[in-house]
């Protein structure tokens, strides 16, 4: 890892060095003597690394993306990070996974993406790689979310030239993450950490700020950018109305399990996860306030963008 980071030049030079190492000095990693269980998905057996499909992300820490062969003949991709504390990411994703199950128990599937995260130390760990593009990249290359979705799911008779299923998936996932990021007080939201899969599922990554913390002053209570609203047909459309309905339904379902969620955060009060350790009581109080437990379900049904 250090040898790759120290390579002079751009990201492409580092990728070439990584593949050179995997094909040469570290070639024993390309075919394991015995299959081993994936640390992220123990049910999957991996048999070696594919050098030609492994890469490096263009960022300050240069995380690795390694592609592994699986015993079943497929492949899986894992991101390895060094120099970043991903314990907080792991906690948030565990909460996303829990909330996903709670919503599905009430027959509300919002097409969330609780990708797997495993912290192996205070500044290192691994994450499941989900094929996707950031909204920043999509808007740069396609000018709009609608154009991007039309590329993968065109339908001349569908809403905005997209299949109804794809648009519904997009709307539901936007609603799910809007509510979850609102409840958990997730900050530092921008177009580079909002990702979109080609089937319409939107999801969030990089959770360095939670429980109301944010590097910018006066952040919005949830990240719902105008491009996302435009992809639903605008704030006056029936699809945006449907989005708000899903938000309210999901919010009220999760309020029913507020004690469970609050108790889990109480159990983490003694941890040294950054945004909890700094002031556990204040953080948990912020979380409790988001549930608005003094109100009935009917009283919480306002436009989600106007909360707080």
Question: How do the pLDDT tens digits run along the chain, 308 residues long?
Answer: 666 666 767 778 888 888 888 888 888 889 999 999 999 999 999 999 999 999 988 777 788 999 999 999 999 999 999 888 899 999 999 999 999 999 999 999 999 999 999 999 988 999 999 999 999 999 999 999 999 999 999 999 999 999 999 999 999 999 999 999 999 999 999 999 999 999 999 999 999 899 888 888 877 777 899 999 999 999 999 999 999 999 999 999 999 999 999 999 989 888 888 888 888 888 889 999 999 887 776 666 654 545 44
Pick from 184, 182, 178: nearest CA to 225: 178
DSSP state of 157: T
Q: Specify the residue for token string 């994450």.
A: 127
72 phi/psi in degrees, rounded to 5: -85, 0
Give CA 173 to chain center in angstroms. Answer: 11
Q: Specify the residue for token string 């350790």.
A: 277
CA 209, 112, 158: angle at the middle one, nearest 5? Answer: 125
Range 273-276, long-range pairs (CB < 8 A, 24+ positions): 273/87, 273/88, 273/91, 274/85, 274/88, 274/208, 275/88, 275/209, 275/210, 275/211, 275/213, 276/211
131-306 CATH, one of 1.10.1070.11, 1.10.460.10, 3.40.50.2300, 3.40.50.12240 = 1.10.1070.11
Does residue 64 sit in helix, strand or coil?
strand
pLDDT at 194: 96
> Could you tell me whether strands 133-134 and 75-82 are parallel, antiparallel, or unpaired per DSSP bridges?
unpaired
> Could you tell me whether strands 64-70 and 55-56 are parallel, antiparallel, or unpaired per DSSP bridges?
antiparallel
Say which CATH topology domain 2-82 has.
3.30.1010
Cα distances (angstroms) measured from residue 167 to each of 138, 205, 231: 16, 21, 8
DSSP state of 306: G
> Could you tell me whether strands 133-134 and 55-56 are parallel, antiparallel, or unpaired per DSSP bridges?
unpaired
Structure tokens at 55: 């890469």
Q: Domain segments of the chain: what residues?
A: 2-82, 131-306
Does residue 70 sit in helix, strand or coil?
strand
| H or E segment to which residue 47 belongs | strand 45-49
Using CA atoms, how far apart are residues 159 and 230, in angstroms rounded to an integer?
13
Q: For 96, how many CA atoms within 13 A lie in the half-sphere containing its CB?
A: 26
Structure tokens at 71: 């015993």
Q: Specify the residue for token string 């990693």.
A: 29
């Amino acid at each position: 890892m250090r040898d790759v980071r120290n390579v002079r030049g751009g990201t492409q030079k580092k990728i070439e060095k990584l593949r050179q190492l995997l094909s040469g000095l570290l070639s024993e990693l390309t075919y394991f003597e015995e299959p081993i269980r994936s640390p992220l998905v123990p049910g999957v057996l991996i048999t070696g690394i594919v050098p030609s499909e492994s890469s490096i992300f263009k960022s300050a820490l240069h995380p690795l993306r390694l592609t592994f062969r699986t015993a079943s003949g497929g492949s899986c991709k894992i991101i390895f990070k060094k120099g970043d504390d991903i314990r907080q990411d792991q906690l948030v994703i565990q909460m996303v996974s829990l909330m996903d199950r709670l919503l599905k128990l009430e027959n509300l599937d919002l097409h969330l993406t609780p990708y797997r995260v495993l912290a192996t130390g205070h500044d290192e760990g691994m994450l499941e790689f989900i094929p996707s593009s950031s909204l920043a990249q999509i808007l740069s290359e396609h000018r709009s979310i609608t154009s991007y979705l039309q590329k993968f799911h065109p339908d001349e008779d569908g809403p905005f030239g997209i299949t109804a299923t794809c648009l519904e998936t997009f709307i539901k996932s936007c609603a799910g993450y809007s509510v979850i990021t609102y409840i958990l007080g997730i900050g530092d939201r921008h177009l580079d950490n909002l990702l979109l899969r080609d089937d319409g599922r939107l999801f969030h990554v990089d959770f360095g700020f939670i429980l109301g913390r944010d590097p910018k002053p006066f952040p919005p209570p949830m990240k719902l950018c105008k491009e996302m609203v435009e992809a639903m047909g605008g704030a006056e459309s029936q699809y945006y109305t449907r989005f708000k309905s899903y938000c309210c339904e999901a919010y009220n379902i999760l309020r029913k399990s507020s004690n469970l969620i609050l108790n889990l955060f109480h159990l983490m009060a003694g941890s040294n996860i950054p945004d909890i350790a700094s002031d556990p009581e204040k953080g948990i109080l912020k979380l409790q306030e988001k549930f608005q437990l003094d109100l009935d379900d009917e009283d919480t049904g306002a436009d989600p963008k106007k909360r707080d």
